[in-house]
Chains A and B, each alone.
Chain A
Amino acid sequence: MRAAVLEVQKMRRLRVAPVCAVMVAAVTALTCAGLMSDSARAGFGDPAAQPWETLLLSYVLVSAMTSPLLVAVLASRQVDVEHQGRGWMLSQVAGLSPGRLCRAKAAVLGAVLAALVAVQTSLVVAAGLAAGITVPLQAGIWVRYAVCLFLVDLALLCLHIWLAARVDNQLVGMGIGLLGSFCGVFSLLMPPALARALPWGYYAVVSPVAMGEDALRVITPGYGWLAVFLLVVAALFGAACHRFDRTEG
């Protein structure tokens, strides 16, 4: 708890809130851009036009594109301060090991991501309602997707924290985040087996909608695969933190 509070203190002036606000605004705007077209508006009251499913697919696509970058930015900013300020050493001589510091960073940034995903999802749904979609909303699908999106973000956050702690040059993490954005988007078009092999492919694995032959289909996301992915990342992150604790200063 102490380490987590310290991370909140260190967040000051890192502009985490503005970065998140910009990202939420961008995701909401990009997702909801399709709501403005006349063709879309014509189907707002017609269940066959699938207005909510269309909006959700747009949200999945935009999230897959933006989340890897956001996660990379948050992780690199929060970890870079330790490299720049010799915070690893300062914490070590105060009894806070580097691994514990990384776990605290994951916990605090994870909370930020949870809030961000909740706000972002709510805004997208609110925008749909405000635009005039009158077809009943299946809230369960949206909630389950938001939870899965958060879990994938959290897993990638852990990997980026590990990377940022390992490599002083934060451009490496940012570059990988950018690469992840491309992979995230294209994973929606990849064969499922290939998507499951990539960390960013899980943005596609958790998608609750898919393109059918002539309409969108509501599908069951790959919860089992997501669970395996989360377990693997948790094990890797746990091992990495343990290793950090044993690294000599």
Chain B
Amino acid sequence: MDIITTRGLTKAYGSRTVVDSLDLRVPQGCVYGFLGPNGSGKSTTMKMLLSLVRPTRGEISVFGRPMNRETRPGLLREIGSLIEAPPGYAHLTGRENMAIVQRMLGLGDRQIADAVAVVRLQEHMDKLVRAYSLGMKQRLGIAMALAREPRLLVLDEPTNGLDPAGIEEIRELLVSLAGEGITVMVSSHLLDEIDKMASVLGILGRGRLIFQGTRTELFHRSLPDLLVDTPEPERALALGIPAVRADRGIRLSGFDDRDTARLVRQLVEHDVPVHGVRRVQQSLEEVFMDLTGREGLL
């Protein structure tokens, strides 16, 4: 079952379309990595999912119910979120902040204690939030999102500004939450971070959904470069093949299986010795860069 589905979700500000015809499908109980370069429309999409921004066009369905002004209060009770930066009143302690969330949502003491325990912030609850590190603020923000015991967590760049240890900590936390049955939708422009925690990826580029599926499906969709081992690369290049010289031969981009067969036939017909043909192993980052048109991912 899909927890979130959108159909043709679009947001335009005047003539500028920032999110264009998104058809998202976020399966239940997974960590859904929402990936895209800065400015690709991730935050706007997440705000539309939470009904903080009105879509220009399209439909949103959460837990199988349409998200609109009427259904929003009921749906938001089951969605924890952290958008753009962690909330927290700096002049209050962590405990006082959680007390505000408790009253805001009408929660019990146990729910608050559990949420604080999950993010391991118990020892710091009596400190003023202004004295918190960024990582602690992020954890407090996640505790605020978790306190309502949500079925869905929508987190916008939750590891922004964290050091590697903080990133690792948040990542482990999100994976463990998914293990408990909570669907986690997490956005990032950091590919490595998403790669280590998400089981399903949605890749956004210039407001459009470029890819959606598992990591394996993503690799299947991409077309790794072809490496032809030959001791005579100059002769191969002289045939007009669109290739560049490589370490032990030539390297070609965008060649599918049929193109590869045709290439090998052509080389053999012209007596160019072919010692081997193989695909170059691509990193996820290379796949992503190809898909997003190399828009500068970190």
Contacts and interface: CB of A to CB of B under 8 A. Distances in A.
Contacts of B144: 90
B178 interface: no
Contacts of A87: 87, 89
A249 B100 contact: no
A94 B53 contact: no
B52 A5 contact: no
B87 A10 contact: no
Contacts of A9: 96, 99-100, 103
A101 B176 CA distance: 35
Interface string B143-176: 0100000000000000000000000000000000
A86 B101 contact: no
Given A93-B76, A94-B105, A249 B53 contact: yes
Interface in B67-94: 72-73, 76-77, 79, 81, 83-92
Contacts of A96: 104
A10 B85 contact: no
A10 B105 contact: no
A248 to B, nearest CB: 5
B96 A86 contact: no
Contacts of B105: 94
Contacts of B101: 90, 94
Contacts of A191: none
A146 B157 CA distance: 52
B235 interface: no
Interface in A89-115: 89-96
A93 B79 CA distance: 9
A86 B100 contact: no
B73 A89 contact: no
A92 B69 CA distance: 12
Contacts, number: 70
Contacts of B84: 86, 89
A10 B89 contact: yes
B215 interface: no
A99 B194 CA distance: 36
Nearest to A90: B87
B47 interface: yes
A41 B47 CA distance: 67
A14 B52 contact: no
Given A86-B85, A89-B87, A93-B81, A10 B92 contact: yes
Nearest to A86: B87
A224 interface: no
Nearest to A7: B100
A81 interface: yes
Interface string A55-95: 00000000000000000000000000100111101111111
Contacts of A249: 47, 52-53, 83
Interface in A117-149: none
A6 B104 CA distance: 7
A74 to B, nearest CB: 15
Closest 6 CB pairs of A and B: A249-B52, A90-B87, A85-B89, A86-B87, A94-B104, A248-B53
Interface of A: 2, 5-6, 9-10, 12-14, 81, 84-87, 89-96, 248-249
13 contacts: A2-B104, A10-B89, A12-B91, A13-B91, A14-B91, A81-B89, A86-B88, A87-B89, A90-B101, A93-B79, A95-B76, A249-B53, A249-B83
